[in-house]
Each structure stands twice: as C-alpha cells, then as structure tokens.
Amino acid sequence: MPLVEHTSLPAFEKLRQRGEKVLTLKQALQQDIRELHVGLLNMMPDAALIATEIQFMRLVGSCNQIVQFYVHPFTVDGLERSEESQDYITHYYNSFDEIKTMGLDALIVTGANVSNPSLDQEPFWEPLKEVVTWAQEHVTSVLCSCLATHALVKQLYHIEREPMPAKLWGVYPHRIMHQEHPLLRDINTRFDVPHSRFNAIYREPLERSGLTILIESEVAGVHMAVSPDQYSMVYFQGHPEYDTNSLLKEYKREVSRFKRGERDDYPPMPEHYFCDDAIVIAEHYRQDLLDALKQGSELPGFPESHLEPLLDNTWRDTAKSIVNNWLGLVYEKTNFERQRSHNRSA
C-alpha cells in the first residue's frame, strides 16, 4: 500500500512524479485501512540528505502490506548543517520530542559522515544513543544502515568496527544464510548489494554477541544481521536503498575532488558496477583529464550523461522484498508490542 502525504515534505511529490503511489491525506482518511508510522532518522550530510530521504521512503512505499505508511523524518543534534539544510529540516522534519509524543511502529536510521577516530567521539553520539534507548522501549523494530549499524553494535554490544586496507566500494554478490528466516521469505538466494565504506564489522564478534547473520558476501563480508530476538534490531552494512546512479555520483564527486587537488590519487572505479562500455568511457575520460591537467589546458566535463544509461540495478527487487518482509513483521507484532511499551511508560 502507498505512502501517505501527511505533510508538505517535497519528497512526496517527487516520488509521485517518479511513478510511486502516494495518497493525499484526504484520500487516506477516506480509506478504512490500518496505519503504520515509520520514523526516518536521517543523519546523512547535506549533499545526500534529500536523496537518502527519498530512497528510504520509496522502499517503504513499495511494500504491498495492507497498510498506509506515514513516514516521519527527523534528525539529531551534532551533525554539521548549512543554513539552507537547517532551514529545510526546521520546516519539514519533526523534532525528536514530537516523535516521542506521537510514537512510532518502526524506525529507520541512516548512515552519517564521521571525522573522528572513534564513533563515540562524534558530536551526534549521545543524541543518537538517546534515540536508540527510547526506541528499544517504544518501537517494534529498528532498521539500521551502514554507519548506523557500526554505531549501534558499538553502543549495544561494544563491538568495534575495524578499518579495512582499502575502501570497499562497488556492487558485490551476496547469499542468504538462513532461508527460513521471516525477513528473508521469498527472496532470491543470491543477489547484489552496493557498498561504500572504509570500515567493517565481522561475523565472529556479532555471533559471539548472539546476533544472527542473515546475508553475507565472500568479498564484502556481513551485509545483514539481526538481534537475538530476530526482529527488534535489523542491521545492514551495505546500501540496498541506493539508486542506480548513487555510486556514479559518488565516483563523480571523488573525481571532482581530484580535479581540485583535494585528493592525490585518481579515484578507482566502483567495483563490478560499470559494464565494459562504461569502463572504456570512464578510462578514456581519466586519460583526457590527466592530459589536460599536465598540459594546463581546459579540463573536460565528467561524462555522466554517457555513463548513466549504461548502468544496471541488480539489487532493488531484493531490497524491496526484505523491507516488505520487515514491515510485514512489524505489522504482525505492533499491536501487542506498542501496547506493552505504552503500559511500561504510563
């Protein structure tokens, strides 16, 4: 069932223009259908704030449960924001106090950019911890993405992420480890997931803490794990929410940093992402750019319009199925769990 346009958040109209089903609030109120309220704790930096918002809302809205989805975006203190982004957040996002008052059935926590050696040194660490503590008592299930996964397993299980020798960046094949698990019902046994990270958490410390590994890759390692009760905390290391062109835009940003002298090396291409024709185009551009820099001539423009039509998406269907199963599990458990939480807090 569709998303409900319950606020003036621009993402609703953008999703509607992309062909997604979005109900107006008036339409929603005319239907005798159960609601689920999903929080979106968006901690992404300004450049990716709105794109990430739309990506996760699209995943939620594509689910076919017999339910109307009300998505409530909010953020936390301790994240650097431009004046423009802060105005956007103030205008369209809920405060955490408002979230606590209205209550949530499920919560999605995005990744974030970090700049300190340890996550607990980040300014957002304590505000995030407050949200997680509240969610454990009042939300049926929390789904975490990438950096949020690293932060929460450190907060909850004292598991430290470990730096990798090089950035894991690209699209990698994965396999499911427990076909019988309700979160993996009716999904492909083998599929791709995008990753973009410098650090990792590994199977052994997760399993020692009682977590179950649900999806893994020989190259990218653990992608999906779940808390010991099998549903209240769901952890992703990869980015199943990514658009087809998300890694292309990251690649373009890194090339631009090289152009400006902000990085010394020319960035490698994301692995297993470009087809042969795209590799030829990207390599030809790299050589043209290096030649222009050496000769001091005009720099060529990045060939985004030539590369984008050549990209394939080999992860979205599986991502939709997993999120569909997750929200289906929330749907099954929410009545009892939310009532129990309300009784405890009364």
264: helix, strand or coil:
coil
The answer to whether 124 and 112 are in contact (CB under 8 A) is yes
Q: Is 146 among the residues known to form the active site?
A: yes
Type of residue found at 68: Q
Catalytic residue among 6, 37, 239, 337: 239
| Coil/strand/helix, residue 239 | coil
| DSSP-based helix, strand, coil % in the chain, nearest 5 | 45, 20, 35
Give the pair of three-digit tokens for residue 301: 């423009």
Nearest alpha carbon to residue 124 among 144, 148, 106: 148
Amino acid, single-letter form, for residue 220: A
> How many other C-beta atoms are found inside a 10 Å radius of the C-beta of residue 274?
23
Asked if 126 and 134 count as a contact pair (C-beta separation under 8 A), the reply is no
Task: Name 9's Cβ contacts closer than 8 Å, sequence gap at least 6.
Answer: 53, 73, 92
**Where are the extended beta strands (E) located within 125-211?**
141-145, 162-176, 190-200
What separation in angstroms does the CA of 80 have from each of 20, 75, 93, 122, 201?
31, 11, 16, 11, 26
CA distance 276 to 257: 25
Catalytic one among 146, 150, 174, 254? Answer: 146
Q: What is the number of other CB atoms lying within 10 angstroms of the CB of residue 71?
A: 24
d(CA 235, CA 237): 7
- Report the distance separating Cα 45 and Cα 79, nearest Å: 8
Q: Which of 5, 53, 241, 337 is catalytic?
A: 241
Considering only CA atoms, give the Rg of the chain. Answer: 21
| Residues forming the active site | 146, 239, 241
